Amino acid sequence: MEHLTLGGGCFWCVEAVFDNVIGVIKAESGYMGGDETRANYEAVCSGTTGHAEVVQITFDPDQVDREELLDIFWVVHDPTTLNQQGADRGTQYRSVIYYANDEEKEIVEKSVLKAQAAFSAPVVTELSPLDTYFVAEGYHQSYFKNNPGQGYCNAVIPPKLEKLKSKFASLVK
């Protein structure tokens, strides 16, 4: 199994997308990239810790590869808006990809160049080495599955899932 850690706005939304991808064993909401030694939802939402809401994806590379997961990432969020996804604003909602080593960094950099061709505005996604990962509180895990009637989720997640299904049908569970 391999891992990929991404931030693309609210982690509920990113998690909901990748939970539906063949080969993804686990999509877990958490926090990464901050200066503090401890992270929790209240502190991260204050925008003062430097952490991003992220999803750590555990995947089987025999079923889906890192490049395919990155292709999905570029389609289901807007990597051209700095510290914002839709109505969610602040550094905790930034677009970010964390890499573990030089090989992963090279894959990510190539993916950014490929993605840039699809956007007229510059891609502002942060590329950073892996940092300390903090698992988000239990009530954030599988949030969309556990709260299907929640208004925010119903407004934001279904369009992302439709993009996933229409552009990556062969990768949808």
Choose, from 10, 13, 45, 153, the residue flagged as catalytic. 10
Residue 38 has pLDDT above 80, yes or no: no
Structural domains of the chain, count: 1
Residue 57 maps to which CATH number?
3.30.1060.10
Collapsed DSSP state (helix, strand, coil) of residue 53: strand
Label the pairing between strands 88-89 and 84-85. Answer: antiparallel
Tell me the per-residue pLDDT of 45-77, one tens digit each, with 9 for 90 and over.
999 999 999 999 999 999 999 999 999 999 999
Tell me the per-residue pLDDT of 17-35, one tens digit each, with 9 for 90 and over.
999 999 999 999 999 999 8
Q: How many angstroms separate the Cα of 105 from the Cα of each of 36, 59, 111, 145, 161?
A: 24, 18, 10, 32, 27
Helix (H) or strand (E) holding 24: strand 24-32
Lookup result for tokens 């989720």: 153
Helix (H) or strand (E) holding 2: strand 2-8
Tell me the per-residue pLDDT of 129-151, one tens digit each, with 9 for 90 and over.
999 999 999 999 999 999 988 99
Lookup result for tokens 């993804």: 24
User: What is the span of the domain harbouring residue 9?
Assistant: 2-171
153 catalytic residue (yes or no): no
Collapsed DSSP state (helix, strand, coil) of residue 120: coil
